[in-house]
Amino acid sequence: MLHTNQRSVRLPIAALIFGAFIWGLVWYPIRELEQAGINGVVVTTFTYLIALVLGVVLFYKNIRNANIFNENAHLLFWICFFAGWANVAYILAIIHGEIVRVLLLFYLAPLWTAVFARILLNEQLSTQGFAVMALSVVGAIVMLWQPETLVPLPDSYGDWMGLLGGMMYALVNVLIRKDQSHSIQIKSIAIWLGATVIGFGCSFILALPPVISEINLQSWMVLLSVGILMFVLSIVVQYGLTYVPANRAIIVLMFELVVAAIASYVLAGETLTWKEIVGGSMIVSSGLFSAKLNPASSQGVAKPYR
């Protein structure tokens, strides 16, 4: 029986490894599209529109049979809204910031999750939980510390977007846990819809939308590929999270940081400072400890919308 269980979890773990590997690399084609003249918010709109269309086709029966406008319809709206902003912030962060630094700020999500879960779900935090939160805060302070101003705040646009994206990512995960009356398929559709709509709206504020005829075939192919990847990653990671305990899943998913560190060095020439190494180690450790302390609460719909 034990041998069978070990075999049965191999595929879900492989799915998580695949997801983490691709998430560690997906920033590169998005940056290439930015350099080709397609702004990040426009990339968000197109890629998640592709994921949305694929999702509607695949989950059509779920949508048709779902009671969407029930007593928790407002939660679905806020999932859609904040997921949209989280996606825009994430895309802008990986375009304008240093990749590993941005991802480490994004991985402060367990800290924000604890805060939002206390407010929205009335979850109590243990003494160990407060210690884990303190560790992540100290890690962020170390990484963001600026000797000139003596203020531990983000000093770049990319850092701010990474920090805000992580906060909204955590809020969406808590809202997903709070909304128990909509299926994961409906929540995924809401997430893709939010990213498409918010990205479309921001494209008129943050950028001049490109003329369709001016986008070359290569850029269209990259956009299409990234859109399909976003959809596939959502399905693959959800499959892995369904069968792998959260305290193991988060360890596997943090493989993304290793891939991103190597890829950003090879492809973009980015290196880590001692502050990012020390502070980042604290942030990663807090994420691992948070899953150990409360496996059930971290079993949300992690990474469905990035």
Write out pLDDT tens, residues 9-65. Answer: 788 899 989 999 999 999 999 999 988 888 888 888 999 999 999 999 999 998 999
Least confident of 61-70, 112-121, 146-155: 146-155
**pLDDT value at residue 240:** 84
Identify the band that residue 207 occupies on the pLDDT scale cut at 50, 70 and 90.
low
Mean pLDDT of all residues belonging to the chain? 84
Distance, in Å, from the CA atom of 9 to the CA atom of 31, rounded to the nearest integer, reads 35
Amino acid at 99: I
Q: Is the pLDDT of residue 300 over 50?
A: no
User: Which residue do the tokens 């800290």 mark?
Assistant: 111
**pLDDT value at residue 210:** 60
Structure tokens at 125: 């935090």
Q: Is the pLDDT of residue 3 over 70?
A: no
pLDDT in tens, 77-118: 999 999 999 999 999 999 999 999 999 888 887 788 888 988
**pLDDT value at residue 127:** 81
**pLDDT value at residue 121:** 87
**pLDDT value at residue 133:** 85
| Average pLDDT score over residue span 207-233 | 81
- Sequence ranges of the domains in the chain: 22-293
Amino acid at 283: I
User: Which residue do the tokens 């942030």 mark?
Assistant: 283
User: Which residue do the tokens 């935090």 mark?
Assistant: 125
**pLDDT value at residue 2:** 46
Identify the band that residue 293 occupies on the pLDDT scale cut at 50, 70 and 90.
low
For the chain, the first-to-last Cα distance in angstroms comes to: 36
